[in-house]
Structure 1
Amino acid sequence: MHEYSIAYDIFATSKRAAVENSATHIKKVCISVGEMTMVNPEQVIFLFETMCEDEDEPLFKDCSIEAKTVPVKTKCSCGYEGSERFVCPDCGSLPEVIEGREIVVTNIEIEVEDE
């Protein structure tokens, strides 16, 4: 179950960013999940939300998470660019996946106290 370690990494990244920016609260975390990650986004969301419920982490009280699916983009040495993952429709070679294999924290909404 690598979804747990992914959810934990998102949690830790969010916490680190909040602390570095003197946040009082993390409102929302946005992530992009590539189609080829072999990860179930619903499980990642569930696990992240479970971590946010920990009463020892007041920064995350009522924090939400939003996941966007990133489609696969490929390119081939013959010039083909598209979404074919396994065989280039133009030349029959294996195209290079250039997008869709990653999980990225794209945005963290935080609250900071006015000074």
Structure 2
Amino acid sequence: MHEYSIAYDIYATAKRAAEDNFATKIKKVHVGVGELTMINPEQVIFLFETMCEEESLFKDCKIECTNIPVKSECECGYSGNERFVCPDCGKLPVVKEGMEILVTNIEIEVEDEDD
């Protein structure tokens, strides 16, 4: 179940970024999930939210997963979303996007310096 390790990495990344920026609260974490990652985003969301339950920095934090579609290229010049066989020449295209999991944005709150 690699969803757990992915959820933990997202949690740790958000926590580190918040601490580095002196955040008082993490409101939302945006994650891009490639079509070819073979993970279940719903499980990642559940596990992430479970990890956040006991951490005050993450109180009411939400996670939003968006799909990253496949983008591929072939040496013949083809560019598109074919994963297995180039429709122009029949060779194996190189997948350029769609295999990654990225934390794309972290929404935080910081304490006002005037307080």
Counterpart amino acid of residue 93 in structure 1: K
The letter of the residue matching 1:9 is: D
The structure 2 residue matched to 1:113, chosen from 102, 111, 114, is 111
Match of 1:2 in 2: 2
Normalised TM-score (structure 2)? 0.97
Aligned counterparts of 1:25 and 1:71: Cα–Cα separation in 2:
31
The 5 A counterparts of 1:1-115 are 1-54=1-54, 57-115=55-113
Q: CA deviation at 1:70?
A: 0.6
Cα RMSD (Å) of the superposition?
0.4
3-state SS of paired residue (1:47): helix
Q: Which 5+ residue runs of structure 1 have no aligned equivalent? A: none
- Give, in whole Å, the separation in 1 of the partners of 2:65 and 2:38: 15
Q: Number of matched residues?
A: 113
Percent identity between matched residues is 75
Q: Secondary structure at the match of 1:43?
A: helix
Task: Give the drift of 1:28.
Answer: 0.2
Question: Deviations for 1:54-101, whole angstroms, at most 9, x for unmatched residues?
Answer: 2xx110000000000111000000000011100000000000000000
The offset of 1:107, in angstroms, is 0.3
Q: Report the TM-score when normalising by structure 1.
A: 0.97
Runs of 4+ with >2 A deviation: none
Tell me the amino acid that sits aligned with residue 85 of structure 1.
R
Give the distance between the partners of 1:42 and 1:79, measured in 2 at CA. 36
